[in-house]
Structure 1
Amino acid sequence: MRVQDDRRDEAGLLAAAGRGDRRAARALVDRLGPRLMGFVLRMTGGDRAAAEDIVQEAFLRLWARSGDWDADGAAGLGTWLGRVAANLAIDRSRRRRDAPLDQAPPIADPAPGGEGRMQQAARHDAVYTALASLPERQRQAVVLRHIEGYANPEIAAMMGIGVEAVESLTARGKRGLAALLRPRQEEL
């Protein structure tokens, strides 16, 4: 019941935002934006500028649907935004295939240094580099499931595939990550 209430609340905020209510728009962005931004950052290999552009475009597309959003539909706003953002990230990635993945900018840790922070940064860099090496669909499934914490049915809706396909992509992605990270296990 709570999920349905949240969906109706979000749909109400979307409708109000569509009518020009800035507070409703801000509330919706505050509610859905951080998780979406984290997901898109991972999908873009830590490219903050690209992630911000993608999140902004996803919300613009959501605002365009504000008048006809169905709160009782198959997907919630977060799921819908995730799917749109994933598609935008994949489109962007396809346009930039000529750039080597190993040149993706690392995600910097803004916290003060120390050996523990250096170790954590090395782990993050290794994971993001390994994630970037996975095929797009496997990377998307792994990020959505194991980093963003979405359930398989939500991922299936975002990716436009069945739950079994999500499970298969996630399993193959995890095996791929393990194989890529195994040589650096002691170092990390």
Structure 2
Amino acid sequence: MGSSLSQYIQRLRQGDQSAFLPLYEKTAPGLMRFLMWKTNGDRALSEDILQDSFVRLLVNLDKLEAVEELAVQRYLLQMVKNCHIDKVARAPKAERNCVPLEALKDVSESFEANRAEQAIEMRELKLAMDSLNEKDSEIIWLRDALGLSHKEVADRIGISEPAARQAYLRAKRSLLS
């Protein structure tokens, strides 16, 4: 069985630089998907934010108090959010890249078959997600896009599991209405 995130963090704290690559490979794909969503598909900006996040992680490694798997995931997600705010939310509107939602779609054979239908669905989904508050949209993203359990969602955003379940159901109802 592979090493856990906490083992990679402990090895990094002890100066074992070889622990960085497996930590990165285990966590970067999910964080990148989150950033692609938050940046409207701007891959270059997402990669830049992800890189800054991991640099901050390494610089602040000793500040990470708990090293349990979920604590490390929550810390990384918060680091990514903070870097995103630093790069995007604080930038003047005129400087922000606006990438069409279509850039997020994977080009595949099935996409070609029903391209128009999917474009309409994606627009409707974006409008629905934009109507949610940030916490609810994050819960939907973590649960549906990243496939996390209600407990994992609760741990990542710092609420109880029943509250995460309730917020998820409320957000889903809001999306469907």
TM-score by length of 1: 0.68
Change (3 A) 1:72 1:78: closer
2:107 alignment partner AA: P
User: What's the CA shift string for 1:10-51, capped at 9, x where partnerless?
Assistant: 333334445362x43222211111111112222333333332
Change (3 A) 1:92 1:41: same
Change (3 A) 1:130 1:121: same
How many residue pairs are counted as aligned between the two chains?
170
Alignment pair present for 1:80 and 2:75: yes
- For 2:114, what is the secondary structure of its paired residue? helix
Shift of 1:67: 4.3
Q: Is the 8 A contact 1:145 1:155 kept in 2?
A: yes
Identical residues among aligned pairs (%): 28
Give the unaligned 5+ runs of structure 2.
none
Q: Is the 8 A contact 2:36 2:46 kept in 1?
A: yes
Q: Which residue of 1 aligns with 2:156?
A: 158
Larger RCO, structure (CA 8 Å, separation 6 or more): 1
- Aligned counterparts of 1:55 and 1:79: Cα–Cα separation in 2: 15
Q: Which residue of 2 aligns with 1:172?
A: 170
- For 1:45, what is the secondary structure of its paired residue? coil
2:40 pairs, out of 37, 40, 45, with 45
Q: Is the 8 A contact 1:14 1:63 kept in 2?
A: no
Change (3 A) 1:63 1:41: same
Moved more, 147-156 or 70-79: 70-79
Alignment pair present for 1:27 and 2:22: yes
User: What's the CA shift string for 1:163-186, capped at 9, x where partnerless?
Assistant: 23322321222122112xxxxxxx
**CA-atom RMSD in angstroms:** 3.3
Give the unaligned 5+ runs of structure 1.
180-188
Where in structure 2 are the equivalents of 1:21-170 lying within 5 Å? 21=17, 23-67=18-62, 69=64, 73=68, 75-89=70-84, 95=90, 105-108=100-103, 109-111=106-108, 114-170=112-168
TM-score by length of 2: 0.72
